[in-house]
Amino acid sequence: MKAGLGSLRRTLWVMAVACALIAGPRLAAQPPAGTCFAVTSSVAAPDRSDLQCAGAPAGYRGRVLWLRLPVPASQSRDASLAMHTTRFERMSVMFEYADTLGPRHTIGRGDFADSWHIGGQVAFRARGDQPASAVWLRIAGLEDYNLLSLRIVSAQSAQRQFELTAFAIGAALALLGIAALFNIGLAASMRRSFFLWHGGWAATVMVWGLVWSQAGLAVFPAAAGTVSARLATVLACLAIMFATFATASALRDALPRWPLRLLGALGVLVLAAGVASGLPGVDIGQFAPVLMIGTLSSLALATACIAAGWRKGHGAARDLAISWAIPMVTLAMTQIVDLDAILWGGGDKVLMLYASALQVVCLTGFATVRLRALRMQRDRAVEIGKALAELAERDPLTGLLNRRGFLGKYAEAFGGAAGRPV
């Protein structure tokens, strides 16, 4: 037992160092390459000479942040700006043609009009009748500059990417929904907390995907912008809490209580930080380090617990290790590598949706196989019990009922006539 605890502690120390190394670069995010900016209080575009092209903007909360992104020459006649929606109150986009600004396209909180696309993105297209040299953005009420994710692609490619993203997200959400219903049904029929937490995790990730991808804006357009971003943050933290609870529930027979309680406490801490960061008027930048460290710490401790349980030969720990490997690696990659530009602009969020769907399907399959094996063992035990009972009631030589068997049959036939002549 002491050797197992020592191994767990050593694993925790290694994971803590890994968390520090992973979290460090992400806490100091850099602005997109080639972006110039200015922070003003005026609605008029600043002069090119007033823009700064080095460092990161500051003091933009409560003011207007101007961004200028150069358009590649290969896309100057068919440019489209795609942007992951984030926390802002109002944004205007203008394309620059021969040093003059074109028409202004404006969206705001609760009103994305025709600019939104499934996949958590808004897009704006240049005119196309003359080459565009740059894109100007006027953003009011932005909460965190480091949350902006912008890319310039051709309009034709953007439309094709939006369609592929919508299809991919829909397939992942369908898998998550089916798995959530299956696990919740198992929890209700078998009275096992693991299936309840795992089903809650799958359902929360599915709802998070609906909110993040903006699929729900067709029904609730007023949720566009800051409302969706805040809700998505809270749902992501709730999913992490459910995941820690599911892991602790699966390993409760394999490990001491203290690491499992610590794992659950980390999940609650992440949820509390997510709820606090989602409150109106709160600067998410203040909670970003807490959310990142809490998430990575939960990931590290869950990995350590699963590894310790697997070393002890616990079957549930092995199933967790195999099932959680893909989403854990994906989550760690999102903290180290910038994945926003891949998968048709869906980036790390589409990866997490599919990693989560694969995890749910894999772990549900393992649980189903385990339950099937337990049911077969139970049926076999019942059959053996019946056979032993039959052998105990008959004479081995003649096959006739012995005294025990005779009394049993007598009780079955005349048990209700006790006390009366027979």
pLDDT digits (tens, 9 = 90+) for 135-161: 999 998 888 887 777 888 887 777 787
What is the mean predicted confidence (pLDDT) over 342-368? Answer: 70
Say what the pLDDT of residue 339 is: 55
109-130: average pLDDT: 78
Contacts of 124 (CB under 8 A, 6+ apart): 80, 81, 93, 95, 105, 115, 135
Q: Across 113-189, where does the E strand assignment appear?
A: 116-117, 121-125, 134-140, 150-154
Q: What is the pLDDT of residue 268?
A: 93
Give bridge partners of residue 116 from the DSSP assignment: 122
95-109, 160-174, 342-356: segment of lowest average pLDDT: 342-356
Name the fold adopted by 36-154: Immunoglobulin-like (2.60.40)
Which of the four pLDDT bands, split at 50, 70 and 90, describes residue 238?
A: very high
Mean per-residue pLDDT, 369-393: 77
Comparison of pLDDT for 16 and 144, the residue scoring more: 144
Q: What value does the mean pLDDT take over residues 303-322?
A: 82
* DSSP 8-state code for residue 401: B
Which of the listed CATH numbers 3.40.720, 3.80.10, 1.20.1070, 2.60.40 matches domain 2-28+158-374? Answer: 1.20.1070
Confidence of residue 66 (pLDDT cuts 50, 70, 90): very high
pTM for this predicted structure = 0.69
| 3-state class (DSSP) for residue 365 | helix
**Selection from 81-95, 247-261, 397-411 with the highest mean pLDDT:** 247-261
User: How confident is residue 5, by pLDDT bands cut at 50, 70 and 90?
Assistant: very low
Residues of the chain with CATH 1.20.1070: 2-28+158-374
According to the model, what pLDDT value does residue 419 have? 62
Residue 241 has what pLDDT?
92
In contact, 37 and 69? CB cutoff 8 Å: no
C-beta separation of 205 from 356 below 8 A: yes
Ranges for all domains in the chain classified under CATH 2.60.40.2380: 36-154
What pLDDT score was predicted for residue 347? 61
Residue carrying the six token digits 């919508």: 166
Residue 417: is its pLDDT beyond 70? Answer: no
Which of 74-78, 109-113, 248-252, 402-406 has the highest mean predicted lDDT (pLDDT)? 248-252
The encoded tokens of residue 60 equal 């933009």
For residue 258, what are the contacts with CB-CB under 8 A and spacing of at least 6?
none
pLDDT of 10 over the 80 cut: no
